[in-house]
Structure 1
Amino acid sequence: MAEISQGVNSVDIAVNILTFVASQNGQARAIDIATGCNLSKSRLHKYLVSLCRTGMLCQNEKGLYLLGATLRQLVESRSFEHDPIRDLNNVLLAFRDTFNHSTGVVVATDTGLVLKHYHRSFRNVDIDFLPNTPVPLHASAAGQIWMSFSGVEAQDEAQADLINQVKMKGYAVRYNPTQGIPGAQSIACPLLDNKEKLIAIAVTMGFFSAEAIPHIASQLLHALAPLY
């Protein structure tokens, strides 16, 4: 049983390494992987050697680790069932693990926006949300994204200005606390298909200062880049 448990743990670590590299726009330094996956350099080295040997990762001339040919073949295989929401959820899980910010996947349903997945940060907070928790449309960053990328018409000039700003920046921000939404502030980014249709909304939430928000938004956009 101990050998089985150790084997499962090794697979978990390998997947975490691959997920972290994917979240860094498909390339990362060993030191960043070690920090992001909470591994010692010596232990990480063993996994990197194995993952490179099997083609799951490769290393370029600058020493960066990239997603390898074997992994790309698996992704591009016709038998592989592509699920963009699952992929987004995995990226947001890695984002939570890396930056210690709560994250979530918001999707649109017939009854409104819902928080489909939620990953609580490791900070000392007592906020938890069940799957499919409703998300307010007019008082959330996710709602701003939905209004900006779902094709709805602006109701007034102020809303039109907001939509234009969100599209220009690529993200939306809720600066003030709102009942029913986790965290005091939240940042949301769209996940679009190749026809620019909104698939889902990535959200990170927490107690962010106004100065930190642009940097965190940039980190989130960077993490989502491999999904496009």
Structure 2
Amino acid sequence: MPPIHNVLNGATFVLAAHEITQLPYDAGAEVAFAGRSNAGKSSALNALTGHNGLARTSKTPGRTQQMVVFDLPPLKGEEGTAPLVARLIDLPGYGYAKVPEAMRMHWRGEIDAYLKMRRSLRGVVLIVDIRHPLKDFDRMMLGFCADTELPCHVLLTKADKISRGQASAALEALRKQMRTDGVPGTAQVFSSSAKTGVDEARARIIELLKTPRAHEL
């Protein structure tokens, strides 16, 4: 795939919200990033936007404890239509054992409310470590996307840590499971450090942002 113009390169930090009521006005289009705390979500965001420091990375997983909002440059629409206001939302890393139970319960509720109620949400990018089987959170997210017809794009991260053959087998197994479970989505191999699949992922995210969901038509 040839390199594409990286609209995501214009991502700028707006705010970090503790509750969905603190998010920007619910209009335009946004794509949310979700994943377990050690799956490489921050590194993926940094690679996709071309900003090494945009999303915090840490040797200690689970640093993202708020919904972090990044504005994108307006996306050009069809001829004669206004540019589309667009955002990326980095959801709190899920599953880090040292987060207090009260915090885990809070974020479970907030993420659930966000996914169900946010009208401008057009898709989810789910970050999964390619070296491990799907975890409960991953399965829950894929199941939610299937139930609500929310488009999902899975990044199988850290692909540089395994062989090309292993990566291809893991990708095919995931795609087969998504088809079986009726998940409306796509999946790809990805590596932040080796820049594997970065252009493909950028193109898919922009496609998600530009594609209205049924309730918007």
TM-score interval, smaller chain? under 0.3
More helix by share: 1
TM-score by length of 1: 0.25
TM-score by length of 2: 0.26
Larger radius of gyration: 1
